[in-house]
Structure 1
Amino acid sequence: MTQSKRGNVWLAVSGIVANHEGEWLVVKKKYGGLKGKWSFPAGFVNEGETIDEAVLREIKEETGISASIAGVVGIRSGVIKEVISDNMVIFSLLADSNEIQVQEEELDEVAFIHPKKLVEDKNSSLLITKLASDVIESKLNKYDQFNPGDHFGYTTYTMFL
């Protein structure tokens, strides 16, 4: 049985970050299965953080862009080599700025590109092509004002409904 450095259950986040012109923030990674392809900023959830904190951190680290969460638009889930459960929560966000700062260790390019152009670009990932081809209407909204009870011991509690 193969085990990765993250264990066999992965939880990742990704963000569709739109600017005021309707363009999406996309990146080209230097490594992995998406090397050279346009994909969304993404990464793994770390210990001690919620999924919404993780997506904001990853976007800022990779691109320098600060964003605000609009909601959750989807979940991608798969099993790698019959062992690793690979799960990703896909967020919809609004860019608070357009000033890109590329994290050069991981990325070759970062840009805001209109979804129609991404559909036509042969270097767009499957996820980008699918999401840019459809109208994304439904989303789960963020609710962080609730406390299910102090007896649970949550320091942060968020629901997306």
Structure 2
Amino acid sequence: MLQRTVSYKTLLRIVSACFLLYGLYLVVVVLTSQVSSRGSIQYDGPWVVEDPNAVMSYLFSGGLFFGTPVLPGNLYMFGLFTPNPLFWVGIGILALSMTSKRVWAIYVSLQLALWMVSVSLWFPIATLGGTTNYDPGVFAPSALVTLAISFVLLAFYKPVIRFLRKFSESNNIATIA
């Protein structure tokens, strides 16, 4: 009987490509969505021009922000727990880098994914607290937590690189039945 095998790297590349494409798809859909409003002021055109704060709250909060209106095309796949597009892109970048043999690239993408995924957490927390101002200074207290985690990763650079080197040198193969 012929046994087929596929490496975990191939599976991880496929999954990471799906995450990346889905995140980029959400960004493109939201930035190019059209809206038509009829009322005292009539408007037909891009949603990003009509309500840039709603577009920004979706791009940075996803469905975690209770005030985000229903998006065109109903992009709330998981309801209230829909992560933002940067979450999917960050996970995709991290998963794609795990298939690389370059340890430094894995470490850099780990830092990048940390920041992209943390935006999914601290932006909604700040906006749920009643913030309507989207200046970077408003999010500084929560960003300090991410900065501290990033510095911890930097402080433990050598042990993290050793762990990542062991991880990248392993050659696991999964069997397909």
Mark yes or no: TM-score above 0.5.
no
Q: Would you tell me which structure has more strand in proportion to its own residues?
A: 1
Alignment TM-score, normalising by the size of structure 2: 0.23
Alignment TM-score, normalising by the size of structure 1: 0.24
Q: Would you tell me which structure has more helix in proportion to its own residues?
A: 2
Q: Which has the larger radius of gyration?
A: 2
